[in-house]
A and B are shown apart, each in its own frame.
Chain A
Amino acid sequence: MNKLSTALVAALAVFSMSEMAWAGKDLDAIKTRGQLVCGVMEGTAGFARLDNRGKWVGFNVDLCRAISAVIFGDSEKVKYVPLTTQQRFTAVQSGEVDLLTRNVTWTLTRDTVLGLDFGAVFYYDGQGLMVNKKLGVKSAKELEGATVCVAPGTTTELNLADYFRANKMTFKPVVIEKVDEVRAAFFSGRCDVYTNDSTSLYATRAANPPPPLTPDDFVILPEIISKEPLAPAFRQGDNQFGDIVRWTQYAMIETEEYGITSENVDEMLKSDNPSIKRILGVSPGMGKSLGVDEKWVYNIVKQVGNYGESFERNIGMGSPLKIARGLNALWKNGGAQYAPPIR
């Protein structure tokens, strides 16, 4: 998002802030409505898209379904609102959506000035670089003098310039306004490198190479040149709803850590492990503390799956996107996904 529109949205947010600061009401409104309203991306492979039957599927969609499972015990009580980049923040501020599970980077200004709150990081993203395999480039350090396709006015362009300057390299930017055209320029060979958030690069590589090119013709370089922690966003002011969002995310990570999956969750109910008993609500207490049903985690895992399952199914090796877990592996496996204990 460029600076002008950020400033505009911020100004509008301040303008409408006075009406937004009350507590507990968001959750009540969701419960009375009987539906969670989720703002999602308009169609990005792996993260949020419509399948053949017109149903929303994807990694971001799974998070909405999990939260719905916690609040209602049913993962299907979600209404999805596809939002563009321009609409996404106003839609949250105006109450059109309860929750934004787009790929939104958590930053200080968005957390404060825009009047938003963020849940936990569901995906550690970062800006990456994609090149054609034919170039034989193995590392971003070899890109001296490269032509780079990039969208203008975004932080992406600034990060790129910073990275090349820091590594004392030069590059020729090819700046094109529309995403489709940037991609087309890259695939037609007008530039050597295409840079964007790596999630977007993986999605582009999986979905966009025009025939006869295939996804295998392109490599995404290992270097990540910026931090883009993606987290769900919601209005400030309802702490209980915020808790539910965060702990839904933690529960998905925690269940992966304890090896509780959608397949074995019924057997896990009989487990002797006190932690698992606590998590699954066999020994009650956790649900009550959060203000939801004791079977909340059971419902998430049974209906949606744990973090790892959702990851693999939508964007991981089990999907056409083939994103490696990397930074999004559990902390035990050297990643950054770490959940506070449910106790």
Chain B
Amino acid sequence: MTDVPAGERQQLPPPATDSGALGWLRRNLFSSWGNAITTVVLLFLLLWLVTSFLNWAVVNAVWTAPNGQACRGHGACWALIHEKYRFIFFGTFPYEQQWRPLLAVIIMIVMLVTSADRRMWNQRLLWIWGTGSFLTFLLMFGQIHIPLGLILFVALAVGGLGMLLRSTVAKPTEIAGWRTLAAIGAIGIVLRLTGVLPPWSLALAPFSYVETSLWGGLPVTLILATYGLVFAFPYGILLALGRRSNLPLIKGLCVGFIELIRGVPLISLLIMASVMLPLFLPTGMSIDKFLRALVAVIFFAGAYIAEIIRGGLQSLPKGQFEAADAMGLNYFQKTTLIILPQALRVVIPPLINTFIGFFKDTSLVLIIGIFDFLNAANQALVDPNWAGFPSEVYLFAAFVYFCFCFSMSRYSKYLEVELNKGTRR
């Protein structure tokens, strides 16, 4: 054998047993006798588990049956889901009208998906949520009466916010526009309160009215979670900022609220809202049960979100605050332009974690008799004609919950990558 210079030697491929799929198998699963045995045993176990599950869930399953008796002795009784799916999804909503909650759910999902896209994070978001929420509630209620007072109040609030937030950046004409809007609102409210303007209200009534006590199933879970968190998020930001405030009164109030709410379980808040509250109200007067639950969720989620955001605020170096001050930014600008964007980016994983937690926690409303998705599924089990198939119903419910929670967690992953591009190498 002649000596060939190093650079001209023939490059042999690595031995087949060391590379490719075979090599991977050998290295990772069969590297020693012990590992080989473990692998084989676990493979058999897995195979057995999967086949027996598939046997139960697919091969021997009953897909249609007149009643539970016909299902007995076979595999999974999906006929029960087939029979009850509309009830599980829409609860007590009037049967003939159930296209309305279906459409509402679709609108809400579209709304959530579109606003997940970063390119939408500007004024378009307001429009998406404005129209989306309006359509959702119009479909759910069927009729919406907007009192004049509310319209005027919104005008005042929007005008006032515009004046505050855009004071240093906007052109004089825009500021004048905000001012007019706020003035119309303020004068209108005064006139309405003194009785000059009539108690007029804008009535939109394309469908029959369905009160919240009849809502049920998936729309309830989605509305409670979405709007609970949408309101809890800004509320939590305010609480977090308040907790770091230099003003003792504001700080004290925020600390007190957060600690009080965090100190009690959500269930006890819900029970308070549903059992104790009515006793303190005058007889006959009652606040909508759904609204009570929503407010309880907002309070509870707000306190938790506040603490997460405070963590983000504290992670910012002091220099950021000082630099913003040195630039001559006022408190609003400093907070909205410098502090919050950085603080919120840091806390995305724990925030989404809380969101997922609350999405599932909304099912606790079952203890105050609201038929959310899980509770509606529970109700489907009560039917004596379909007795004894809890696993099918709970598996189905778990699957639906998983779809929502898993997409949220994937979205969190995407957001982390997307928002940390600047700091990534």
Contacts and interface: CB of A to CB of B under 8 A. Distances in A.
A98 B387 CA distance: 32
A95 B381 contact: no
A107 interface: no
A209 B73 CA distance: 14
B384 A95 contact: no
A321 interface: yes
Contacts of B282: 19
Given A52-B84, A81-B213, A82-B369, A45 B384 contact: yes
Interface residues of A, number: 46
B379 interface: yes
B99 to A, nearest CB: 14
A319 B384 contact: yes
Interface stretch (B19-27, B86-94, B158-166, B395-403): B86-94
A192 B271 CA distance: 35
A19 B278 CA distance: 13
Interface residues of B, number: 42
Contacts of A333: none
**A interface, by DSSP: helix, strand, loop or mixed?**
loop
Given A44-B382, A87-B274, A12 B279 contact: yes
Interface in B236-285: 271, 274-276, 278-279, 281-285
Contacts of B127: none
Contact of B87 (A42, A50, A56, A321): A50
A94 B368 contact: no
Interface string B27-69: 0000000000000000000000000000000000000000000
A282 interface: no
Given A53-B95, A54-B95, A83-B369, A320 B389 contact: no
A215 B387 contact: yes
A90 B279 contact: yes
Contact of A46 (B90, B94, B95, B384): B384
Interface stretch (A126-134, A200-208, A225-233): A200-208
A87 B368 contact: yes
B93 A29 contact: no
B369 A52 contact: no
Contacts of B387: 45, 206-209, 215, 320
Contacts of A12: 279
Nearest to A12: B279
A95 B281 CA distance: 10
B378 interface: yes
A79 B90 contact: no
A42 B216 CA distance: 13
A12 B94 CA distance: 36
Contacts of B418: none
Contacts of B281: 94
A268 interface: no
Given A52-B84, A79-B213, A45 B383 contact: yes
Contacts of A90: 275-276, 278-279
Nearest to A29: B284
Contacts of A54: 86-87, 90-95, 216
A278 to B, nearest CB: 36
B154 interface: no
Nearest to B286: A96
A32 to B, nearest CB: 10
Interface string A79-109: 1011110110011011110000000000000
A149 to B, nearest CB: 18
Most chain A CB atoms below 10 A, which of B73, B86, B279: B279
Nearest to B67: A320
B283 A20 contact: yes
7 contacts: A49-B379, A50-B371, A54-B94, A84-B368, A84-B369, A95-B283, A320-B385
Of all A-B residue pairs in the complex, the 10 with the closest CB atoms, nearest first, are A94-B278, A320-B384, A82-B369, A53-B95, A54-B92, A43-B382, A45-B384, A206-B384, A207-B387, A95-B283
